[in-house]
Structure 1
Amino acid sequence: MTQYKLVAIDLDDTLLREDLTISERNRQTIRQVIQKGVIVTIATGRMYASAKRFAVQLELDVPLITYQGALIKTALTGEVLYEKLLHPGVVKSVIQLAFDRGIHVQAYSNDALYTQEENEEVRAYTELVGVNYQVADLMEIAEQGTPKVLYSGDPDFLDEFAHEVKAVVGNRANVFKSKPHFLEVTHPEATKGQALDYLVQRLGITREEVIALGDSYNDLDMIEYAGLGVVMENAPEAIRQLADYVTGHHEKDGVAEALNRFVLSV
């Protein structure tokens, strides 16, 4: 079997349980994988500040893939290795769409989360990811450099709204759903797969030596890029069909199951 050298793990609904914690079995298995000489990193749509909390718990001293691949930043030293920011004009246009349609929108700059107004949506989001937020003029934030814009709302509405956003941004941005009620906009080169390719080249390894674990549509290019694409049992059927291997549910240590099978048992 292939001797894997890099493992990239999504957070929400993959490594994290519903209560947003890492199980002891997953934690111990990841430590064993690292002790074997394999690099383990996080690949998440979350902002760096949110991802770093879990990296610290896992004692990871590696570059972390955050903002869906828009930012790769080391866990301990905070060195920025890779960054892809949306053009300010794109940011302003997608923010204006939200204003016109009356839905919640938030933007990020310098690893801080900004909202135009305080509301239940931003409070729920920041409680979910464990970060703070600031109220500011989002059009001004757009000028500062933005790795991601996020809309939240009714899942069916967002499915339709995504077509409007794509019509406005064209090939100047990626538009995708990270969860049923979250629609996100990032730089066209800000994907987990492209970020993973950057790390592969930096480490001098091959994509065949990479395992990627995820559960959602925003994980697809990473799963397809890796030599071994692992999808959680709780993932949508369409994503499970594209996996090289379907592991257990995120509530039942699916990450540990996959790592034991493909890394520790080799």
Structure 2
Amino acid sequence: MKSVALDLDGTLLNSQKDISKENISILKELYSKGVEIFIVTGRSYSATEGVIKKLELPIIAICYNGAKVVDSKNSKVIYEQPLSEDIVKVLIEISRKNKVHLNLYQNEEWLVENKNNWQTKYYRDNIGLDAVEKNFDIFDSFKMTKALFVDERVNLLEIEKEIKEKLGNKVHLTYSQEKYLEVLNSDVNKGKTLEKILKDKGLELETCIAFGDANNDKEMLMMVGCGVAMGNAETELKSISKEVTDTNDNHGVYKFLIQKI
């Protein structure tokens, strides 16, 4: 084990969106022994900073499911692969036609057209940040780090189908939670970006342990030397993972890693 890659929501974070002292202690101990620690999350960097501060470690944060990478020591962006303007315009059109809520992310701002609907409130409660209300017809640039549809899964499945019909393989689609359909640059997923960052650090996928709980963690867990699904993970993720640990509310990360020291 040379590195550990950790999803946040449903993995390192418990249901109260906090990190247990057990998880903090094991990551600090591993870091002191020379193991690199990476956060790999669907969250924006602004919604990840607070977690990193609690860990008190100089972590590289792979955010937006791999679309943006930030060095937390100086908040410097070291990699970004946004959605193109033409794709974003199609997503806005799909959102409005189907009356399904769309989040856009640009320059670390979370942008919505309606701050008062249940979808915005639901997302705000999950990440602890507030949205910026914006007319999606007016941008200096329509390039976005990522897009996120928020709604009931039955509605998102219809949106997914329409996106595939209109954009095909021009985008990468993944579910990060039951009500979240993420839309990313076609060259982006957690696994691809983690592989790039590990290579830049002189590390190999084979010596990395990664933890996750949802569909957007699939590529990462399949690519590393040891992919670990949380006890609360989706069934499909457990089936493709090499190992399964306890749940995020029962210190699953700590319980798995303590055996490796």
What TM-score do you get using the length of structure 1 for normalisation? 0.95
Asked if 1:200 corresponds to 2:198, the answer is: yes
Partner of 2:73: 76
Single out whichever of 215-224 and 157-166 deviates more from structure 2.
157-166
Distance 1:218 1:8 in 2: 14
Q: CA RMSD in A?
A: 1.2
Please tell me whether residue 243 in structure 1 is matched to residue 237 in structure 2: no
- Once structures 1 and 2 are overlaid, which stretch shifts more, 123-132 or 4-13? 123-132
Separation of aligned partners in 2, 1:139 and 1:60: 40
How far off is 1:142 after superposition?
7.8
1:184 alignment partner AA? E
Do the aligned partners of 1:72 and 1:81 also contact (CA within 8 Å) in 2? yes
For the 8 Å contact 1:210–1:228, the answer to whether it is kept is: yes
Q: Which residue of 2 aligns with 1:105?
A: 102
Residues 149, 139 of structure 1: CA spacing in aligned structure 2 closer, same or farther, 3 A cutoff?
A: farther
2:85 pairs, out of 88, 93, 106, with 88
Note the 1:153-172 alignment, pairs <5 A.
153-172=151-170
Distance 1:142 1:19 in 2: 37
Q: What's the counterpart of residue 210 of structure 1?
A: 208
> CA offsets, 1:229-264, max 9 Å, x none?
0110111222111111101111100000111123x1
Count how many residue pairs are aligned between Structure 1 and Structure 2.
260
Name the CA distance, whole Å, in 2 between partners of 1:69 and 1:152.
19
Deviations 1:178-236 (A, max 9, x none): 11111110111221101111111111121111111001110000001111101101112
Of 22, 29, 32, 2:29 maps to 32
The more displaced of 15-24 and 116-125 is 116-125
Gaps of 5+ in 1: none
Task: For 1:112, give the aligned amino acid.
Answer: E
Which is richer in helix?
Answer: 1
Does the residue aligned with 1:205 lie in a helix, a strand or coil?
coil
Separation in 2 of the partners of 1:173 and 1:55? 29
State the one-letter code of the partner of 1:53: G
Which stretch has the larger CA shift, 153-162 or 245-254?
153-162
Equivalent residue of 2:38, what SS?
strand
Using the TM superposition, give the Cα deviation of residue 144 of structure 1 relative to its aligned residue in structure 2, in angstroms: 4.5
Structure 1: which amino acid aligns with 2:232?
N
**What is the aligned partner in structure 2 of residue 227 from structure 1?**
225
